[in-house]
Structure 1
């Protein structure tokens, strides 16, 4: 069981015997494990070096087991740090490898991943390997049964670790019940979200080293294939496309971050964001869980407050004031 952290079966047998006794002499370990004294001493010294045991100063010398929950956890954490170092080295080697083969083997720049389980695995793995930021386009269609975006548990975990997420949502998601609640979870955890009409595809970009383009058509009920784009001029173009659309997209502010400063209510802030993204009354009502009449009532109040005559003027004046 403990081979994964570097203990041989014989080491583990001696450690188990020491834990059962809590402390033991070499002679007791020899008797319990049926080992030569030299082997018992060598293994006990190894346990000392690993921090799994301590040694008394009396005579005869007694070896005392360190509490397994702290000692084994310390070894696990060290192994995890070593594995993280290996992963980082692998990524560095792959960057060198791809740089050398970029033009010699262009077929390796685009990888086709097939099968639902493999696609999901690579998507999760790509996020977990991200060190600085994830960027993405999010748009329908979505796989059944959810049919809309749900909070991404991997994203929430990485946001807590300090990884930056910037996501542009296709404005058609405003028509989907539950979308506002789902994206609010991400925004409250630190996601930066914007809305733009007519996104060309679904897209995820991990740092500047890898992109994924899911292959899913309207009517598909499962995501079963994706392109993986490795460092190349194509990846550079996808990054440039994201940044260009990011600058032209409408920020999503759903957590009341401007409410006190601008004397906006959280509801008004949400409505302004949706209006600036081009949402019709029906779409805004569905996203906010209101009736269309409630949307129109709030819109009328905003128009009076801003001195605007049209919805377009409301969005323009709110933008000028820095409200959206």
Structure 2
């Protein structure tokens, strides 16, 4: 190794220039007194800083002579000390840089990280939702719907108004939403007739409403809690983008929910379409009969007729045939 290489390495560890020159002189010439060091390293005797630094980090030690000479000692401890000192300086530099950036962000960014997620609790939740849904939607609302619901009124006149104004709605309903008494008839069907695009899953991963690309409302599903005690209002950030991805994945996985009627080769009645939709959503026999307003005996008779019409020997085959042939 060249002497210049050693000097560069020692300076990289944080050793001062005079200390490096003094240490190189001692390595080259062997033990020296202070006067000899001053002769070998011009300027080192002015303040003794180089020798003092070497003594402090433990790279040299004085002999026990009447006029002490200074001699290099095994450098392991000294190098460890220099490395730790350098590491501490780098950490301080990192902290200082982060603090400087944080000051920049607070000064130039209108919204701090603390403003990206708002927590709303208790009785304030319905009013906050109403305010956001009244002021924010411009293009599209995406929702994963599951009980418990924040409102006791079933009819969603606000969504119906938005749909009339041209705002798009895509909603994935959980099976538990379809089982809620009168929710299908008084909430879901009117919204779908107004233009809502609806699908269904056996369960949704979270209660979620995304309004345009501006705000997301997140709360627990009925599987997590029986009460609505808290709501997260999330503004655009990494978490917001993750929630968007969660919705789109759920939407692609869900089955279409179409109960608006329409034409088909077999001209299914609207009630038959609703029966198949509820069946595909996983609703139980009692819930389906109740929603259709018929007895279980009538339900079983009509189910048997539809299976015969589809040539199906099981409910699974019937649901598959209905999806493939656009009965839903």
TM-score range, shorter chain: 0.5 to 0.7
Q: Does 1:190 align with 2:223?
A: no
Structure 1 position 214, deviation (Å): 3.2
The answer (yes or no) to whether the contact 1:171–1:198 under 8 Å persists in 2 is yes
The answer (yes or no) to whether the contact 1:113–1:225 under 8 Å persists in 2 is yes
CA distance in 1, matches of 2:138, 2:150: 28
TM-score, structure 2 as length reference: 0.61
Structure 1 position 219, deviation (Å): 3.6
The answer (yes or no) to whether the contact 1:215–1:227 under 8 Å persists in 2 is no
Larger Rg: 2
Which secondary structure state, in structure 2, belongs to the residue aligned with residue 255 of structure 1?
Answer: coil
Match of 1:181 among 182, 185, 190: 185
Tell me the equivalent position of 1:131: 138
Tell me the equivalent position of 2:235: 230
Which secondary structure state, in structure 2, belongs to the residue aligned with residue 199 of structure 1?
Answer: coil
Tell me the equivalent position of 2:254: 249
Which secondary structure state, in structure 1, belongs to the residue aligned with residue 276 of structure 2?
Answer: helix
Unpaired stretches in structure 2, ≥5 consecutive residues = 1-104
Structure 1 position 322, deviation (Å): 2.3
Tell me the equivalent position of 1:298: 302
Tell me the equivalent position of 2:170: 166
Runs of 4+ in 1 over 3 A off after TM superposition: 214-219, 259-262
Structure 1 position 289, deviation (Å): 2.2
CA distance in 1, matches of 2:185, 2:325: 26
Task: Map Cα deviations across residues 112-139 of structure 1 (whole Å, 9 max, x no partner).
Answer: 123423x223212222221101111111
CA distance in 2, matches of 1:202, 1:304: 38
Q: Does 1:274 align with 2:281?
A: no
CA distance in 2, matches of 1:133, 1:261: 34
Compared with structure 1, are the counterparts of its residues 284 and 193 closer, same or farther at alpha carbon in structure 2 (3 Å cutoff)?
A: same
Query: CA-atom RMSD, angstroms?
Result: 2.4
Compared with structure 1, are the counterparts of its residues 215 and 277 closer, same or farther at alpha carbon in structure 2 (3 Å cutoff)?
A: closer
CA distance in 2, matches of 1:314, 1:246: 22
CA distance in 1, matches of 2:202, 2:193: 23
The answer (yes or no) to whether the contact 1:132–1:163 under 8 Å persists in 2 is yes
Unpaired stretches in structure 1, ≥5 consecutive residues = 1-96
The answer (yes or no) to whether the contact 2:264–2:327 under 8 Å persists in 1 is no
Aligned residue pairs total: 219
TM-score, structure 1 as length reference: 0.62
CA distance in 2, matches of 1:255, 1:322: 12
Structure 1 position 151, deviation (Å): 1.8
Tell me the equivalent position of 1:110: 117
CA distance in 2, matches of 1:224, 1:101: 31
Structure 1 position 286, deviation (Å): 2.3
